Chain A
Amino acid sequence: MTATLPTAWRSVLPYLSEPLPPDRTPPGSGGSGVGVNLPMELVRQSVLPREYWTIPDEVIAAYRHFRPTPLWRATGFERAIDARVPIYMKYEGGNISGSHKLNTALAQAYYYKRAGVRELVTGTGAGQWGTAMAAACALFGLRCRVFMVESSLRRKPYRGVLMRMLGAEVHSSPSGLTEVSGQRSTPLGNSLSLAIGEAVEYARNHDGVAFCIGSGETYSILHQSVIGLEAQAQLTELDTQVDAVVGCVGAGSNFGGIALPFHAAAAAEGSTPPLLVAAESSTAPKLTRGVYAYDKTDATGTGPMEAMYTIGSDYPIPDAHSAGLRFHGAAKVVSALRHTGDVAAIAVGQPESLDAGRLLTLHEQVLPAPESGHALAAAARLATTGADGMRAGRGVLVCVSGHGYLDLGAYEQLLNGELGDEAPVEEALLSAVAGLSPVYGDRVPAAVAGGPA
């Protein structure tokens, strides 16, 4: 396969049928001044409806170490699930971080370095983002500090070791180093938003330090478009097309990266896009059971309130192996497209997703991350019996967002029959979203049904 590395990212912003709802200032914020802790290019990428953004030469050079990533027809997986249509998989696990997260980590580290920042601090759930940030900081000569969800770090200590090998300082969150970690009263809490909150607070209180985030921000999703752009070229090389594109969703960068270039291309051509299917965890079902409302992006509540499909930032998401999917809300770009019906969603439970991962391991010799297992399970449904009225008729493209070599404990539980699911009960969801302001209308829907409203 000879597909080349794209030289520009492609934004979906010019192709939204409605403008993104503006962010809102959180209650109680304000003060004597204003500021922005983003390099200007990331600001522009967040708000300007420009379609193509040239990838800086330094970032291209870094991408060349691992991109283009492979895409192939997963015939072994197809046979294992008795698929009716071809399934093509795009594999993003073949870099030092083990996931797609490095695509935006490199870009962000480059821009922050140019902005004069000396240290980047971040929060991470599964550890993939933290590892990617540590690697990117090492490459661009920045210090790196990572707050990692305690349960995840305990479960995957080697993530922490790898980040430290890459030069990062790693804190288990709640760390006790920040006020927000001390204020947290529930033992479960929304643990990723707390880790992010710790990073936000740490950056605010230290000179030369900036907080960075790698999933739901519009610029992160832009950087991830390199995945979908490559996949489009690779499918063309194979002289084939798909009518369904699937990626897993924590906040939305992997899904956005694989799927939104297809939306942009179809909108530009005036053609019908493939079905774009976001595969989420049934423990954090914002796109299938959440509401479209303004909610916090982190536990400090000092960041902007964004329009998102959410199950409530205060909802205590149960512990699960797919830490990368344990986030309460979807990115505002993904949420806007969900609201307009341009994005569909499927919630997948833990046993089903890990079993899909087991099948991929057995039949394609690729060990996927548990997060990716959700996308594989959704792809399997689309390629066989269908799901929620959706079924692929020509072919499915699925993104395997990362490898699962540090998740073998989860697979061990699967093999031992010890895995369970903890989908939220309706009352808990209703309670968690009760105080939120809906994006449209004047009150949050009484039923937590999710989906395009």
Chain B
Amino acid sequence: MTAVEQFDRVAVADAVKRVVIAESRLSVDPATITETEPLVGELLRVNSLGFVGMLVQIEDVLDITLPDDLFVGRTFKVVGDLVDVVLQGAEASR
């Protein structure tokens, strides 16, 4: 069984939140971040430049390869948007 096959939404969400927290230069428990938390808001401060690096970090952390067609022309507003697409990508790379 590959690393990807073991992923469920909780595990992916946790990994995504950790990367998002680091990108926002915060020190908070990932459990305190909900999936409806805006990526650009009062708490999280992700920008498009950091987002590029985040994607590569997520691939590294989850040991997956995200497909090319998941990101072009898409806008991500809340943490859950990113979790959705990473799950979708992880599924596609199985």
For window 28-74 of B, CB contacts with A under 8 Å fall at 38-40, 46-49, 51-53, 55-56, 59, 65-74
CB contact under 8 A between A39 and B48, given known A32-B77, A33-B40, A34-B40: no
Q: Most chain-B Cβ atoms within 10 A of its Cβ — which of A32, A34, A43, A115?
A: A34
B77: chain A residues at CB < 8 Å are 32-33
B75 close to chain A: CB less than 8 A: yes
User: Are B47 and A36 in contact, with the CB atoms below 8 A?
Assistant: no
A40-B70 CB under 8 A given contacts A33-B39, A34-B46, A48-B56: yes
Given known A47-B52, A117-B73, contact A30–B47 (CB-CB < 8 A): yes
0/1 string, A10-54, CB within 8 A of B gives 1: 000000000000111100011111111111110110111000000
Q: Say yes or no: B49 contacts A40, CB within 8 Å.
A: no
Contact residues in A for B38 (Cβ distance below 8 Å): 32
Q: Chain B residues near A208 (CB, 8 Å)?
A: 73
Contact check: which of B49, B55, B70 meets A22 at CB < 8 Å? Answer: B49
Question: Does A315 belong to the interface (CB within 8 Å)?
Answer: no
Q: Does A137 contact B (CB under 8 A)?
A: no
**Contact assessment for B72 and A39 in the assembled complex, using a CB-CB cutoff below 8 Å:** yes
Q: Is the CB of A115 within 8 A of B49?
A: no
Interface residues on A, range: 20 to 34
In the complex, which of the residues A25, A32, A47 contacts B48, with contact meaning CB atoms closer than 8 Å?
A25
Q: Is A111 an interface residue (CB 8 A)?
A: yes
Q: Which of A33, A37, A40, A41 contacts B73 (CB 8 A)?
A: A37
Q: What residue in chain A is nearest B67 (Cβ atoms)?
A: A40
The answer to whether A40 touches B55, judged by C-beta atoms less than 8 angstroms apart, is yes
Report the nearest B residue to A116, measured CB to CB.
B69
**Interface status of A184 (Cβ within 8 A of chain B):** no
**In the bound complex, CA of A57 to CA of B13 (Å):** 35
Q: How far is the CA of A116 from the CA of B67 in the complex (A)?
A: 11
Smallest CB separation, A250 vs chain B (Å):
23
Q: Do residues A41 and B48 form an inter-chain contact, with CB atoms below 8 A?
A: no
What is the minimal beta-carbon distance from A240 to any residue of chain B, in angstroms?
A: 40
Chain A interface SS verdict (over half): loop
Size of the B side of the interface (Cβ < 8 Å), in residues, is 27
Query: Which residue on chain B has the smallest CB distance to residue A112?
Result: B72
Instruction: Give Cα A210 to B73, complex, Å.
Output: 7
Most B Cβ at <10 Å: residue of A30, A115, A210: A115
A25 lies within 8 A of B49 (CB): yes
Chain B residues closer than 8 Å to A210, beta-carbon distance:
72-73
**With an 8 A cutoff between CB atoms, is A388 at the interface?**
no
Question: Which residues of chain A from 171 to 215 have a CB within 8 Å of any chain B CB?
Answer: 207-208, 210
Q: How far is the CB of B88 from chain A (nearest CB, A)?
A: 13
A41 x B75 contact (CB < 8 A): no
Tell me which residues from 107 to 145 in chain A have a Cβ below 8 Å from any Cβ of chain B.
111-112, 114-117
Contact yes or no, B71 A115, CB < 8 A = yes
Specify the chain A residue showing the minimal Cβ separation from B82: A34
What chain A residues lie within 8 Å of B67 (beta carbons)? 40
Chain B positions within 8 Å of A41 at CB level: 68
Q: Is A304 an interface residue (CB 8 A)?
A: yes
Docked pose: A67 CA to B63 CA in angstroms: 35
Q: In the assembled complex, how far is the CB of residue B22 from the closest CB belonging to chain A, in whole angstroms?
A: 14
Most buried by B among A24, A29, A40, A112: A40
Query: Is A114 within 8 A of B49, CB to CB?
Result: no
Q: How far is the CA of A31 from the CA of B41 in the complex (A)?
A: 9
B47 touches A114 (CB 8 A): no
**Nearest chain B residue, comparing its CB with the CB of A111:** B68
The answer for the CA separation of A23 and B51 in the assembled complex, in Å, is: 12
Question: Which A residues touch B73, using CB under 8 A?
Answer: 35, 37, 116-117, 207-208, 210
Within 8 Å CB of A34, what residues of B?
A: 39-40, 46-48, 51, 75-76
Contact: A24 with B49, CB < 8 Å? yes
CB distance from A387 to the nearest CB of B (A): 37
CB distance from A201 to the nearest CB of B (A): 15
A18 to B89, CA, bound (A): 33
Contact B49 A23 (CB under 8 A): yes
Output the nearest chain A residue to B60 by Cβ-Cβ distance: A48
A-side contacts of B47, CB under 8 Å: 25, 29-30, 34
Q: Which B residues are closer than 8 A to A by beta carbons?
A: 38-40, 46-49, 51-53, 55-56, 59, 65-77, 81
Give 3 closest A-B pairs by Cβ, nearest first.
A39-B68, A33-B77, A115-B68
